[in-house]
């Protein structure tokens, strides 16, 4: 029987990284859980807004850029509010 991977972010380095804002950490946790065990994932801002109520597309993009700057994700916006990303 094949053993399944388990998602555990409790000791992930992002929680101690002071360069990452709490909102970006919350977004990262959501992206990580959505894209768990996949190479490339797609997401739209509407799905994220269900979890992070106050987020708008511009703020979401800035948080994605911050996460990319510190090498947590790679992403591209292929249409307004639609993103393709990879967890690094």
The pLDDT value recorded for residue 84 is 92
How far, in Å, CA of 4 to CA of 24, rounded?
28
Q: Give the pLDDT confidence of 36-72 residue by residue, as tens digits.
A: 777 788 888 888 888 887 888 899 999 999 999 999 9
Q: Give the pLDDT confidence of 14-41 residue by residue, as tens digits.
A: 888 899 998 999 898 888 888 777 778 8
The pLDDT value recorded for residue 47 is 86
Between CA 9 and CA 77, with CA 44 as vertex, the angle to 5 degrees is 95
What average pLDDT does the segment 67-83 reach? 92
């Amino acid at each position: 029987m094949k053993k399944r991977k388990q998602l555990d972010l409790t000791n992930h380095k992002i929680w101690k990284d002071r360069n990452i804002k709490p909102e970006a950490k919350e977004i990262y946790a959501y992206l990580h859980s959505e894209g768990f065990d996949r190479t490339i994932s797609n997401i739209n801002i509407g799905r994220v807004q269900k979890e992070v109520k106050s987020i708008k597309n511009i703020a979401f993009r800035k948080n994605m850029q911050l996460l990319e700057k510190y090498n947590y994700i790679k992403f591209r916006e292929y249409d307004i509010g639609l993103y393709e990303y990879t967890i690094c």
